[in-house]
Amino acid sequence: MKNHPGKIPRIWYYPPELQVNLIYDLTANLQDGTGNYDLRFGTTFYDFSWFKGFEQEEILKKVQCPSILLHVARPLNQKKYYDKNGVLLSAMDDKDAKQVDKLLLNNHLIDNIKSGHDIHVEKPEIFIRAIDDLQKRCK
């Protein structure tokens, strides 16, 4: 840290698949502010105020260009997308994904991807295929 202030530390000798450095990324803001995550978003996410005045359904209905929605399967260690307290453990559950797909007029839903949040890193073949498909649909 002394030689590289403002840089997130990295353990370089582990393969990226092990995600050893993920803890540094996730806690960077809390440690020293080196991350890009705005902590205020966390507050508005949990109290849902970030949607105040924003009509999601109406906005999604207006999108006319081709789109893709990559949606992960529920966490492997869970029976549902929610924990025992009813807290959603993902950006959206399967019902939400289907609703978004319905609202986006020219969407392609790729559902039930067995991946974490970073589909493009963990399942690059699915991500690349989806982007290639989107490109074809845009012509």
Q: How confident is the model at residue 66, as a pLDDT?
A: 98
Is the per-residue pLDDT at 9 higher than 90? no
pTM for this entry: 0.70
**In 3D, which of 127, 20, 21, 18 has the Cα closest to residue 7?**
21
Is the per-residue pLDDT at 31 higher than 60? no
**pLDDT tens string 87-116:** 888 889 999 999 999 999 999 999 999 998
**In 3D, which of 115, 17, 48, 44 has the Cα closest to residue 75?**
115
Is the per-residue pLDDT at 47 higher than 60? yes
Domain boundaries, the chain: 1-53, 55-138
Is the per-residue pLDDT at 78 higher than 60? yes
Range from 22-26, 77-81, 103-107, 131-135 carrying the lowest mean pLDDT: 22-26
Q: How confident is the model at residue 58, as a pLDDT?
A: 96
Concatenated DSSP letters of 32-87: TS-SS--HHHHHHHHS-GGGTT--HHHHHHH--S-EEEEEEPPPTT-SSSB-TT--
| Mean pLDDT of the residues in the chain | 86
